[in-house]
């Protein structure tokens, strides 16, 4: 079903999902601390969600190939609603972990299924634009969500969780009534039944794309974990100023992904856009070392954010074009590598920062060049197969 009319509906769905997720971001540390979590336990509480997504995103992606996209989206978004409500009702630390584990397990179905949905309803020429629209929805959700969470947390720390859960529940109903299934039954029967695994992914021709996404997310997560400390140390920026900086970066990224990315891909192709994104990421990492006030921090971080932001939609588009498995299997595995980067990035970047504050960004520059080499290798291999 190549019908792009459903993309605006999917944009609304992913925007609402990510806004709900973003609502709890500024509240979660204080809520966990109130219940009795230590800083170390808070770190585990944050990491366990990504770990569950790392384990189960490939499974949900494969199931979406077999049973359709809509059921998996319903499971993923309802799982978010359930986890938010469980958070609001928690009175002990183990209840927070239970809510986080359940949420990570079920919501792992959402992103790979959404990307597979885009692959179903777009042609190969428009695939990158469709993936960019999803990226824009995610970015905008993360901009508005934390702001809403911060406002309502003044009344009670549990209120943002009730709001986020209700929003996810409404989104579930929206998907049920308005979003049509994108994978016809006759196409589901053609998918393979083998269980996806990281080892098989690393042995596949698409391994370089998976590792590329892992490195890109690893670098981004490391920057997110350390930039506040670095900016405060170098430029004396407050938490409020940092919030505005990340908002500027998010808005710029959403505009590029939602408005310009499709035109750039049609004009130059995914390969050129990925290389340009890697170049901007490396440039942004380099410039961040020289921030000295609010405006330089906002500008340099935005350069990095735009470069980093265009890579994921292009990688997703290339994966769905070249995979020999189902679209959901490929996007599920990509989400798994993405989650792995989010697990390792903050921990390693934090350790590097304690050694020397500039090390996370210097490491990011090196990893970006590694990513460039990986992608060049992937394109050479693809071209050789195409000419064979």
14: tokens are 């992913």
Give the predicted TM-score (pTM) of the model. 0.87
Helices of type H across 236-358: 239-255, 261-268, 270-288, 294-322, 327-355
From first to last of its 388 residues, the chain has per-residue pLDDT tens of: 556 678 889 999 999 999 988 888 878 888 888 888 887 888 788 889 989 999 999 999 999 999 999 999 999 999 999 999 999 999 999 999 999 999 999 999 999 999 999 999 988 888 998 999 899 998 898 888 888 888 888 778 899 999 999 999 999 999 999 999 988 888 875 555 455 677 778 888 889 999 999 999 999 999 988 888 898 888 988 877 887 888 888 899 899 998 889 899 989 999 999 999 999 999 999 999 999 999 999 999 999 999 999 999 999 999 998 887 788 889 999 999 999 999 999 889 989 999 999 999 999 999 999 999 999 999 888 766 654 3
Nearest to 131 by CA among 24, 23, 281, 277: 277
Q: Where are the domains of the chain?
A: 1-181, 202-388
What CA–CA distances, in Å, run from 275 to 159, 280, 303? 43, 9, 14
Do the domains spanning 1-181 and 202-388 agree at the CATH topology level?
Answer: yes
Specify the CATH number for 202-388; select among 3.30.420.10, 3.40.50.620, 1.25.40.10, 1.20.1250.20: 1.20.1250.20
Architecture of domain 1-181 in this structure: Up-down Bundle (1.20)
């Amino acid at each position: 079903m190549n019908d792009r009319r459903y993309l605006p509906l999917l944009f609304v769905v992913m925007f609402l999902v990510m806004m709900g997720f973003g609502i709890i971001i500024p509240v979660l540390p204080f809520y966990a601390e109130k219940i009795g979590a230590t800083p170390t336990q808070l770190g585990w509480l944050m990491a366990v969600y990504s770990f569950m997504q790392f384990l189960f995103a490939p499974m949900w992606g494969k199931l979406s190939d077999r049973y359709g996209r809509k059921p998996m989206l319903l499971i993923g978004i309802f799982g978010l609603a359930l986890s938010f409500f469980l958070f609001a009702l928690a009175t002990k630390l183990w209840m927070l972990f239970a809510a986080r584990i359940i949420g990570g397990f079920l919501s792992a179905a959402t992103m790979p299924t959404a990307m597979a949905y885009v692959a179903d309803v777009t042609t190969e020429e428009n695939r990158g634009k469709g993936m960019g629209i999803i990226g824009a929805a995610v970015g905008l959700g993360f901009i508005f969500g934390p702001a809403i969470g911060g406002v309502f947390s003044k009344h009670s720390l549990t209120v943002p969780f009730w709001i986020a859960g209700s929003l996810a529940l409404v989104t579930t109903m929206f998907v049920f009534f308005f979003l049509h299934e994108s994978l016809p039954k006759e196409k589901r029967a053609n998918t393979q039944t083998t269980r996806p695994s990281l080892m098989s992914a690393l042995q596949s021709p698409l391994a370089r794309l998976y590792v590329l996404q892992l490195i890109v997310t690893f670098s981004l997560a490391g920057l997110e974990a350390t930039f506040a400390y670095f900016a405060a140390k170098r430029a004396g920026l407050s938490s409020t100023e940092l919030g505005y900086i990340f908002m500027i970066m998010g808005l710029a990224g959403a505009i590029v992904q939602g408005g310009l990315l499709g035109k750039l891909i049609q004009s130059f192709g995914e390969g050129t856009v990925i290389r340009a994104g890697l170049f901007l990421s490396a440039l942004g990492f380099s410039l961040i070392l020289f921030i000295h006030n609010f405006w330089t921090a906002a500008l340099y971080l935005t350069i990095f954010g735009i470069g980093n932001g265009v890579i994921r939609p292009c990688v997703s588009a290339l994966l769905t074009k070249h995979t020999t498995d189902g679209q959901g299997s490929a996007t599920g595995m990509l989400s798994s590598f993405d989650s792995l980067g989010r697990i390792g990035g903050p921990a390693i970047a934090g350790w590097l920062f304690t050694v020397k504050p500039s090390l996370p960004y210097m490491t990011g520059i090196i990893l970006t060049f590694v990513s460039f080499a990986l992608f060049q290798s992937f394109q050479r291999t693809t071209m050789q197969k195409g000419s064979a």
